[in-house]
Amino acid sequence: GIQVEQSPPDLILQEGANSTLRCNFSDSVNNLQWFHQNPWGQLINLFYIPSGTKQNGRLSATTVATERYSLLYISSSQTTDSGVYFCAVEGGNEKLTFGTGTRLTIIP
Amino acid sequence: DGGITQSPKYLFRKEGQNVTLSCEQNLNHDAMYWYRQDPGQGLRLIYYSQIVNDFQKGDIAEGYSVSREKKESFPLTVTSAQKNPTAFYLCASSIRQGGYGYTFGSGTRLTVV
């Protein structure tokens, strides 16, 4: 099946800093999503982005499908950005496969 | 508002008992999915269903069973055959065409006591 790798596994930043999270995948995909898992376990859909670039406030994402990677940018980090960020991809088998996540901690 | 409802939020089960987790969606999505998450790890697919009365095993289906009698509902039964059932269970749904991705419920935390 398709492999998904996320880096870094852990990231600790001061409030106000910018960050870049990376997702590499091993095959062509029909779907790529970025999720934020909050402290209560809820998965919040950030972006549906199988290709191209999208922005939503302080967050933006870019997927380069031909090179099989996606980047999530967080600017001017706030403590509420803390949590685990997951990249998930869907290939030809129509199953969403998750990476192991990046745990982001924002220090006030 | 449309969404996915999982119940209960917390569930305690004695060893040897079966337990059923509920998942209901009013998004008119065709496909539904069950994932398991263990502490500090990603999500792993248990079962999925793309249409009513049809479902397929995911990567870790052993010890679990599902049914899909209605489009809106996809209950998961954790049987006594599941050796390590304590985990966080998440239900999701998606529309097969349209490119809107997956929507997740708020999860059920199951603890075996």
Tens-place pLDDT, residues A34-93? 999 988 899 999 999 999 999 999 999 999 999 999 999 999 999 999 999 999 998 877
Checking if the pLDDT of B18 tops 90, the result is yes
CA–CA distance from B50 to each of A50, B33, B57, B100 (Å)?
21, 9, 12, 15
B33 touches A: beta carbon within 8 Å? yes
- The percentage of residues in chain B with a pLDDT greater than 70, rounded to a whole number, is 95
What SS3 class is residue A75?
A: coil
Checking if the pLDDT of B99 tops 60, the result is no
Between chains, do B33 and A97 touch, taking CB under 8 Å as contact?
A: no
Pairing of strands A102-107, A10-14: parallel
B109 touches A: beta carbon within 8 Å? yes
Chain B residues whose beta carbon lies within 8 Å of the beta carbon of residue A48: 99-101
